Amino acid sequence: MQKELEKKFLADFTKNQNIVHKICRIYTSSADAHNDLFQEITIQLWKNYPKFRGDSKFSTWMYRVALNTSISLYRKSTKRINTQNFNDVAYKVKSTEYDDTEEVQLKALYEAIHKLSDIEKALIFLYLENKSYQEISETLGISNGNARVKMNRAKEKLKNMLNP
Amino acid sequence: MDILDNYKKAWENQPEENERVSVGEIYKMAHSRSSSIVKWIFIIGILEFVVFNSLYFFTDMEEAHRQYQELGLENFVLYTQIIAYAILFYFLVMFYLNYKNISTSDSTRVLMRKIIRTRRTVRNYVLFNLGYIALVMIVFTIASINVNMEDLNGKQIALLIGAMSIFTFLILGVMFLFYQLIYGILLRKLRRNYKELAKLEDE
């Protein structure tokens, strides 16, 4: 039974791991910290997996656990905020098929997101991942209306940073 | 078109992580040890319970018992200790239940509230202990003065009360600072984030 569960978890997680990588990129500033957070998220996902009933999508549940770990459980990243070496991020997202302009935009986007607070990061991340306000408010545990207000502020802040 | 829409497109088109983690590595990671603050809160909490309850081992119980008798405080000590153990039991159960209740599948706000509540259980236990220490100090001072009333003059009584007060304040003060430090280091980020979410709900 345990083996079955483990197998399913590993398959689901390996398939969806890119979500966790994106979250690690916005919450950490070095390759070491990235791996560190990735590991902690993996531990938390596995620990909570028996409680995952499958009444929501695996990825939805994954967003929640991964963001929660980054915001509330992980503390090593705080020391290195704002010292991001963007080549660290750049090498990770470099691809021949990827448009140059978009690559520049993506770098600028990551740079700006790094300057947001932990909560704002989560909001912007969920927005970029096309999540509905319903899902965002449920993930963060705030009302739908408040999620909208907070989101608009975070977006304004981001826009000002991207286009001063 | 909104300026963010362009960036959103770049976000959506970003390639997958180059360094994908293999199934084997994920397996290893999933079974490694967590270093989350919840785990630290649990370890530190347990240590606090242990430290506060092992203080008795450092005192000479026979000698202490003789002194209680001399001061006529046997009953006081007995009853307060029974109460103290009952309270310890209550706090231990609450601490464990709160800790068990922490789940990363909860919403961010609920999760943070539960972590803070678990931490607060231990803090309340420590506050209770400090209060208990202060109470014992006061009762002992009063009892000492009562027993030795005939031998002491006003100045000596004042001196005794002064010395005991300073001693009590010193212990409580050091403990308080120690707590601010642990609490501060461990929960600073969490509290800041919690405030940010909670503030919004109040607006």
ipTM of the complex model: 0.82
Closest residue by Cα to residue A106 from A124, A130, A90? A90
Return the CATH number at A123. 1.10.10
Nearest by CB to residue B10, choosing from A21, A102, A119, is A102
Last residue of a domain, one of A83, A101, A135: A83
Closest residue by Cα to residue B198 from A116, A76, A150, A153? A150
CA A40 to chain centre: 13
Alpha-carbon dihedral sign for residues B88, B90, B91, B93 = positive
Structure confidence at residue A3 (pLDDT): 85
HSE-up of B58 (CA within 13 Å, CB side)?
5
* Residue B15 pLDDT greater than 90, yes or no: no
Structure confidence at residue A63 (pLDDT): 94
CB B197 within 8 A of CB B109: yes
Chain B neighbors of A158, CB-CB under 8 A: 4
What Cα–Cα distance (Å) separates residue A43 from each residue in A1, A71, A84, B29?
19, 15, 25, 6
Q: Do residue A75 and residue B189 have CB atoms under 8 angstroms apart?
A: yes
Assess whether A78 and A6 both reside in one domain.
Answer: yes
Q: What is the DSSP string of B91-129?
A: HHHHHHHHHHH--TTS-HHHHHHHHHHHHHHHHHHHHHH
Task: Name the least confident of A76-85, A93-102, A128-137.
Answer: A76-85
Q: Do residue A17 and residue B201 have CB atoms under 8 angstroms apart?
A: no
Cα–Cα distance, A116 to B179 (Å, whole number): 30
Asked if the C-beta of A96 comes within 8 angstroms of chain B's C-beta atoms, the answer is no
Cα–Cα distance, B73 to B78 (Å, whole number): 9
Structure confidence at residue A84 (pLDDT): 46
Q: Name, in order, each residue with C-beta under 8 angstroms of A30's C-beta and a sequence gap of 6 or more.
A: A80, A83, A84, A85, A88
Structure confidence at residue A97 (pLDDT): 54
* Residue B116 pLDDT greater than 50, yes or no: yes
Number of domains in chain A: 2
- Average pLDDT, integer, range A56-79: 83
Chain B neighbors of A162, CB-CB under 8 A: 3-4, 7
Asked if the C-beta of A92 comes within 8 angstroms of chain B's C-beta atoms, the answer is yes
HSE-up of A50 (CA within 13 Å, CB side)?
4
Cα–Cα distance, A56 to B154 (Å, whole number): 75
pTM, entire model? 0.82
Interface of A with B in 140-159 (CB under 8 A): 140-143, 146, 149-150, 155, 158-159
Cα–Cα distance, A114 to A162 (Å, whole number): 12
Interface of A with B in 98-137 (CB under 8 A): 98-99, 101-103, 105-106, 108-109, 117-119, 122, 127-128, 130
Chain A neighbors of B8, CB-CB under 8 A: 127-128
- If you average pLDDT over each of A2-6, B94-98, B138-142, which comes out highest? B94-98
What does the mean pLDDT of chain B come to? 85
The distance in angstroms from the start CA to the end CA of chain B is: 31
* Residue A79 pLDDT greater than 70, yes or no: no
Q: Which helix (H) or strand (E) holds A43?
A: helix A31-48
- Average pLDDT, integer, range A107-123: 94
Assess whether A79 and A11 both reside in one domain.
Answer: yes
Q: Flag whether A106 is in a domain.
A: no
Q: In this structure, what token pair is assigned to residue A15?
A: 């398939």
CB A49 within 8 A of CB A5: yes
Assess whether A56 and A8 both reside in one domain.
Answer: yes
Structure confidence at residue A89 (pLDDT): 54
Assess whether A8 and A74 both reside in one domain.
Answer: yes
* Residue A78 pLDDT greater than 50, yes or no: no
Q: What is the DSSP letter of B17?
A: P
Q: Flag whether A102 is in a domain.
A: no
Assess whether A71 and A149 both reside in one domain.
Answer: no
Q: Flag whether A108 is in a domain.
A: no
**At A80, is the pLDDT very low, low, confident or very high (cuts 50, 70, 90)?**
very low
Last residue of a domain, one of A30, A65, A83: A83
* pLDDT one-digit tens code per residue, A36-60: 999 999 999 999 998 887 777 888 8
Q: Flag whether A110 is in a domain.
A: no
Assess whether A2 and A76 both reside in one domain.
Answer: yes
Nearest by CB to residue B104, choosing from A13, A68, A142, is A68
Task: State which amino acid sits at residue B158.
Answer: A
Asked if the C-beta of A82 comes within 8 angstroms of chain B's C-beta atoms, the answer is no
Closest residue by Cα to residue A105 from A61, A147, A51, A161? A161
Assess whether A144 and A74 both reside in one domain.
Answer: no
Structure confidence at residue B64 (pLDDT): 79
Cα–Cα distance, A67 to B72 (Å, whole number): 59
Q: Flag whether A93 is in a domain.
A: no
Domain interval for residue A121: 116-164
* Residue B28 pLDDT greater than 70, yes or no: yes
Share of chain B above pLDDT 70, in %: 96
Using CA atoms of A65, A71, A73, A75 in order, give the dihedral in degrees to the nearest 10.
Answer: 140
Structure confidence at residue B123 (pLDDT): 84
Structure confidence at residue A83 (pLDDT): 44
Last residue of a domain, one of A31, A58, A83: A83
- If you average pLDDT over each of A4-18, A116-130, B27-41, which comes out highest? A116-130
Q: In this structure, what token pair is assigned to residue B32?
A: 């490694």
Cα–Cα distance, B174 to A159 (Å, whole number): 48
What Cα–Cα distance (Å) separates residue A155 from each residue in A22, A103, A105?
18, 20, 16
Assess whether A75 and A3 both reside in one domain.
Answer: yes
Structure confidence at residue A123 (pLDDT): 96
